[in-house]
Structure 1
Amino acid sequence: MTKRTSLKLNDERQLLFDKASEIVARDASDDPPRSDVIDAALTHLIESYKNLEDVRDEYPPQTVKDCCNTSVLGMRYRTSIDKKWR
């Protein structure tokens, strides 16, 4: 991973940040710093990935997809989004 000093926000990414900030905020008047929003999102991503890996061999693919409420169960940076169990 390369280290970058700036984060460019197109309209779609800004919308995602706004939605994520609402989730992380304590209440309607709270405006959390972007670094806190990014930390929360990264922590959630890592925990979700671990949870998926923990149950992958225990349950059928469709059950995992339904319970995790996702159709995407694997990602590759700049390559594709894979649905591993199709």
Structure 2
Amino acid sequence: MATDRTSLKLTDERKRLFDQATEIVAADDHDDPPRSDVIDAALTHLIESKANLNDVRNEYPPQTVKDCCNTPVIGLRYRTSIESKWR
């Protein structure tokens, strides 16, 4: 089980990702949502994306799913023919 952490080290790359995600979550150019809201939205999206991938994996060929939904964030394993690793 993962341990709870109370702080994040914000490298330049992580700060850039937070800034990009904040732009997506913000209601308009003047909105500055807290990082916790940005993290909640990103986690929700990740979980929903995995559920969506699981829903279509038996309906479409693995290469089609990979071509349409490929992301380096989610570890995908479609049968034995396609594998994408994060990190």
Where on the TM-score scale, by shorter chain, does this alignment land: which range?
Answer: 0.7 to 0.9
Q: What is the percentage of aligned positions where both structures have the same residue?
A: 68
Q: Partner residue of 1:34? A: 35
Question: What root-mean-square deviation, in Å, do the aligned CA atoms of Structure 1 and Structure 2 show?
Answer: 1.9
Higher RCO (CA 8 Å, separation ≥ 6 residues): 2
Return the alpha-carbon distance in structure 2 between the equivalents of residues 73 and 64 of structure 1: 15
- Offset at 1:72? 4.0
Return the alpha-carbon distance in structure 2 between the equivalents of residues 21 and 65 of structure 1: 27
Structure 2: runs of 5 or more not aligned: none
1:45-56 maps to which residues of 2 (within 5 A)?
45-56=46-57
Length-normalised TM-score, structure 2: 0.80
Runs of 4+ that moved beyond 3 A: 71-74
**Residues paired across the two proteins, number:** 79
- Offset at 1:17? 0.2
In the alignment, is residue 43 of structure 1 matched against residue 44 of structure 2?
Answer: yes
- Offset at 1:63? 0.9
Q: Deviations over 1:29-64 (max 9, x none)?
A: 110000000000000000000011111122101111
Return the alpha-carbon distance in structure 2 between the equivalents of residues 74 and 28 of structure 1: 30
Structure 1: runs of 5 or more not aligned: 76-81
